[in-house]
Amino acid sequence: MFLSALTLSHFRSHKMARVSVDARPIAIFGSNGAGKTNILEAVSLMSPGRGLRRASAYDMTRRPEALGWKLAAVLHAQRQLHEIESWSENGAARQVKIDGKAAAQTALGRISRVLWLIPSMDRLWIEGAEGRRRFLDRMTLSFIPDHAQASLDYDKAMRERNRLLKDMVRDPHWYAALEARMAETGTAIHTNRRTALAELELAQTGAETAFPAATLSLLPGELGLPDNVADFREAMAKNRGRDLAAGRTLIGPHRTDLYGVYAAKDVPAKDCSTGEQKALLVSLILANARALTQRFGAPPLLLLDEVAAHLDADRRAALYDEICALGAQAWMTGTEPALFDHLGSRAQYLHVSETDGTRPVDLP
């Protein structure tokens, strides 16, 4: 799986940028603020969701002259070629076309798989549970494309139920249909997440890697999380009184937390050093990529923003070797080409600058 062409029009800092590449890893270098991460963000929008920055469509628009933006890409996946277009006008929700036909964002998850690691994720293990759930759901989505729709349906039903709770509605008839939908989709979300964790555990077992293995588990929240639809519905009905007092739903997969442990040391990830936490994140991204390669026969697209700057020379070399062994097209950013020296001719190089735009570079 790889992109052979990517065009950005009025996207972030890029008025117009065209990138033509092959399946090898791509090292993108340039000064801070030149627009390197913006290219990675464009690639991340070849998958469902709001991209690696979780930005609104309005915030992605180049200013001040543009009223919208457009991306176009040629994706090679499973021996098929797809033309993908994504755009937004006047800040409206982004739209998608696949092979010239309008499509829902969730359809992207069936043809492309994109994983990323960005600097803001470095604090994953020590900040709130919401970021860890989002990290877990991105991994889950890579294995199970329908996970995105289940999550959307669950969130919609929960918002409607929470509105009833805030309005202190007590008639059970108002809740029945919403709770039935939440029980069905919530159970699916929980099952999908457990499937993803099992895939990651298998991919880490016996893997030849320079990065530490992580043991992952789900913490279901203070009130627990039922395992089947019937028990889920019953639990929600029984908990309405407490939910009314809180003004929100207190049971469900939206309360789950991801718990990580540095396996070799048996130390919780939150208690590890900054370097160890970063190494665990890299390890999980690589394990996710290995698992996808084993399941689908092709590695995903990898987006690694400034990852080289936070690893020592030996770890950088190990990372590049593992990426090349996977055969993954990894889009990586750094301020200096020297950060990618170990890749040599195994990679292709793009120089990004505010004055010259984006251009390929041949490095010795």
Give pLDDT tens digits for 245-285: 999 999 999 999 999 999 999 999 999 998 899 999 999 99
- pLDDT band per the 50, 70, 90 thresholds, residue 78: confident
Tokens coding 65: 């002259």
Own/partner contacts of 353-359, CB < 8 Å, gap of 24 or more, are 353/30, 353/31, 353/34, 354/13, 354/31, 354/33, 354/34, 354/35, 357/14, 357/16, 357/17, 358/14, 358/17, 358/18, 358/19, 358/35, 358/39
Distance, in Å, from the CA atom of 230 to the CA atom of 250, rounded to the nearest integer, reads 17
Helices (H), the chain: 36-44, 108-111, 129-143, 147-166, 173-204, 229-238, 240-246, 274-296, 313-326
- pLDDT band per the 50, 70, 90 thresholds, residue 87: very high
The confidence score (pLDDT) of residue 132 equals: 96
The confidence score (pLDDT) of residue 223 equals: 65
| DSSP character at residue 93 | P
Whether the predicted pLDDT of 153 surpasses 60? yes
Average of per-residue pLDDT across 235-239:
93
Residue that has been written with the tokens 């442990």 in this structure: 261
The confidence score (pLDDT) of residue 297 equals: 87
Average of per-residue pLDDT across 326-335:
94
Structure-model confidence comparison of residues 295 and 363, the more confident one: 295
- pLDDT band per the 50, 70, 90 thresholds, residue 364: low
Return the percent helix, strand and coil in the chain, to nearest 5. Answer: 45, 25, 30
Tokens coding 249: 């739903």
pLDDT, averaged across the chain: 92
Per the DSSP assignment, residues forming a β-bridge with 98 are 84, 101
Tokens coding 63: 């200013």
| CB proximity list for 238: less than 8 A, separation 6 or greater | none
